[in-house]
Structure 1
């Protein structure tokens, strides 16, 4: 059973949403994602402490470092998105990280570490390779399911990285945030159309297009408004685009301008991106100038 894990601030304390992290079905063991969410909840003083004792937190002698994640995680409206994370796990000599009862994994969170607005885990625990008797290099995923409503549009932007470890049997755990950052972005699209085709040299070419991005609440793409977008051109036998002008997308994300036909070549729109939305280039549209 796959579930999503979201932690929300409720009356000043964290609580795992029953919708976000449902209990395992009768007779079914909790998934790693469920267990990781419960461990985080216990570490941060929430009411979900049945399986994880706060008194046990100090007993698991583990710290995390060298957290590495992609600069940006680009999320659309329907498809699952996975991004790989690596980190170093340092543990006490008495901690057996290869026990079948032990698990560790990365996560990312938005907002303050103690009261995050949202969190994203991986479906499965990370795999770790020993580099010494007390250190290991670990590799795991962050798995995002936008179609399941894991994200709100307001959640786009900077997220922080963390990692945790837990013992399924004893309830011991370790948890550490502020290990790194990444951008969780609303996937962008950009179209272009240059016409007429063909066109007589010296005549006017009208170039249109649309800049849009994922809406995580409607699960559709919507126009990205009031954004500067460059109109670029490259000659037929060239591989380099040159910027002709910059246009601002209108209230529906539409773009429109005119240029004078001179030589055969390709027109495209180019968007530099923002913290919430990745950069994107339209596929060039060829115009034959006669």
Structure 2
């Protein structure tokens, strides 16, 4: 799953981010602080940024990046869904690959600022159901013998039962049996 993110950083005008020796971006994280991270996720590639304005001391950019998110790698359980904090990240490298003096050097610096905002991470949920009618199995009621009950618990009213009722709503009583006289 790829999650596109856009943001607007404001940084010192002399801070250069070329994507090769220096880079800046954001990283969503979970935890009480940056030193106590429970989980974090970051982009695989450098963000694409365009400078929108500058002053004598600051530059404002509009940036977009994509975080490739594999739920099995970042969302360990359902509790990982919810609000994540967002941190700003800046990394720089310097290297001296000229080994003429039989010496190589490589330095890497990494800065991270927390509390820059929050974002919602949601787990995908898929609800499926089978609402197709099924046949009654052996031993179950047959459709011709099944009775439907009205919400009152009494048998539901059908045209045949409505016709046999009196206007007061009660069923008519059968006449009492007649006695035959003996002669």
| C-alpha spacing 1:173/1:135, structure 2 compared with 1 (3 Å) | farther
Task: State the superposition RMSD in angstroms.
Answer: 3.1
Aligned 8 A contact 1:91 1:135 in 2: yes
Shift of 1:103: 1.0
| Partner in structure 2 of residue 122 of structure 1 | 43
Structure 1 regions of 5+ residues with no counterpart?
1-80, 205-290
Give deviations 1:196-217, integer Å, cap 9, x for gaps.
28x9xxx97xxxxxxxxxxxxx
Q: 1:128-207 counterparts in 2 under 5 A? A: 128-133=49-54, 134-147=59-72, 149-153=73-77, 154-169=79-94, 171-196=108-133
Count of matched residue positions in the alignment of Structure 1 and Structure 2: 123
Distance across 2 between alignment mates of 1:195 and 1:171? 62
Task: Tell me which stretches of 4 or more aligned residues in structure 1 moved more than 6 Å.
Answer: none
Distance across 2 between alignment mates of 1:172 and 1:128? 21
Structure 2 regions of 5+ residues with no counterpart?
95-106, 135-142, 149-183
- TM-score, length-normalised on structure 2? 0.55
Distance across 2 between alignment mates of 1:119 and 1:150? 7
Q: Secondary structure at the match of 2:75?
A: coil
Higher relative strand content: 1
| Partner in structure 1 of residue 22 of structure 2 | 102
- TM-score, length-normalised on structure 1? 0.37
Aligned 8 A contact 2:19 2:46 in 1: no
Q: Which has the larger radius of gyration?
A: 2
